[in-house]
Structure 1
Amino acid sequence: MTRPLTVSATWLVGVIEELARQGIEPSRLGASWAKHLEDVAPTRQLQLVQVRRLWQRAMQLSQDPLLGLKVGVALPLQSMNVVALVLMHSISLRQALAHTVRLQQLVSNSGRFLIEPASNNGVQLVYHITPSPAAMHPAQIDSLFAAYMRLLYNCMPADRRPTRIELPGTDACLADRYQVYFECPVILGVEQARVVFGAELLDSPWQAADPTLLRIVLGRAETLLKTQGRSDTLVDYVTAAIAAQGFSEANCDSVARSLDLSRRTLQRRLAERGSSFRQLLEAVRMSEALEGLADPNVPLVMLSERLGYAEPSAFSHAVRGHFGKAPSALRHELASSFFAGGKALAINSTESSDHQRTPCKADPTRCELEG
Structure 2
Amino acid sequence: MPGPLLDTLKGANLARRPIWLMRQAGRYLPEYRELRAEKGGFLALVYDTDAAAEVTIQPVRRFGFDGAILFSDILIVPYAMGQALEFLAGEGPKLSPRLIDRTLDSLDEAPQRLHPIYETVRKVAAQLPAETTMLGFAGSPWTIATYMVAGEGSRDQHDTRAFAYADREAFAAIVDAIVDVTVEYLSGQIQAGAEAVQLFDSWAGSLAPAEFERWVIEPNAAIVAALKKLHPDVPVIGFPKGAGEKLALYAQGTGVDAVGVDETVNPAWAARELPSSMPVQGNLDPLLLLAGGAELERRARHILDCFADRPHVFNLGHGIGQFTPIAHVEYLLEVVREWTRDA
Q: Of Structure 1 and Structure 2, which has the larger fraction of its residues in helix?
A: 1
TM-score, length basis structure 2: 0.26
Q: Greater CA radius of gyration, 1 or 2?
A: 1
Q: Of Structure 1 and Structure 2, which has the larger fraction of its residues in strand?
A: 2
TM-score, length basis structure 1: 0.25
